Structure 1
């Protein structure tokens, strides 16, 4: 059992160190030697768990997807609108991107043209936003002149843009940046009766 636990810990350490390296250097430049050294294991131990750099990148993406699902899977507070839930989860995603290197690296890897897209985190996020906006439309939460496709484009485009820009300047992922964006978006998106109820800064959920 101790040997199995040690193997699990080694694998988790390798994924974390790989994420840090991919986030810092990108997939193409990152080397397995750098990753194994950072993890404190030999190259042989690394290859025991992962056959190649591509396999290690796939593992980072897989863990990142689990963490993204955890962000989008949080239930909205009772009585909360779908639009408020969208606001809250958008804040949750950018907050996690700011603090979670594995999630941030997973997004970066899924958009890296140097490797095949295996786990499309950005596509998963877009799909989730589309579902929530569709629920908002069904409940009459959108402004009559707001196009659902435009709402999805604005939210997904902005958050992915924050993710990319945040790699160089963390302020793009800070709550105040997201709040300012939502303060501009919500008046044209939300139905009149909802505008005063939705908190652009999120509810803290």
Structure 2
């Protein structure tokens, strides 16, 4: 209930501050486990993806944010869960897989950190791990624009990624992540 209330409030604020254009929302399945993987250009990306997705999203967020007074509680109430960066965090991996096994939507920024120049960086293997270890539909997402007041922001949800060809090669988690990042880059090139 808090998530829906917060989503409504944030949506109102974002609509007043930015011109938001959403493309491809229909590509997100209504049911079943979903992983939404997006490029990462700002701290405002999670709320932007959250308000434009038709489904509630459980975001993985850096552990340091949960240590800040009040912010940790807020993030927890907004369905986020912590991940330790720079290492293999088994607890975060278990949490993500559990959410997907329950048919939930997992939100990831595979680059692991914001891109300072707006260019897509190499993704971390975690996104590929979740894609390989679950039955989730993987949706690439591209955020295009600037978070300057009254500027236009585009959120593009691509078609589900088809891993059939790649699966024949028995790829590792990093190769699957690379495929996800290629799909995000293709959306950026098409809609810029």
Which structure has the highest strand share of the two?
2
TM-score by length of 1: 0.28
TM-score by length of 2: 0.29
* Structure of higher CA gyration radius: 1
Which structure has the highest helix share of the two?
1
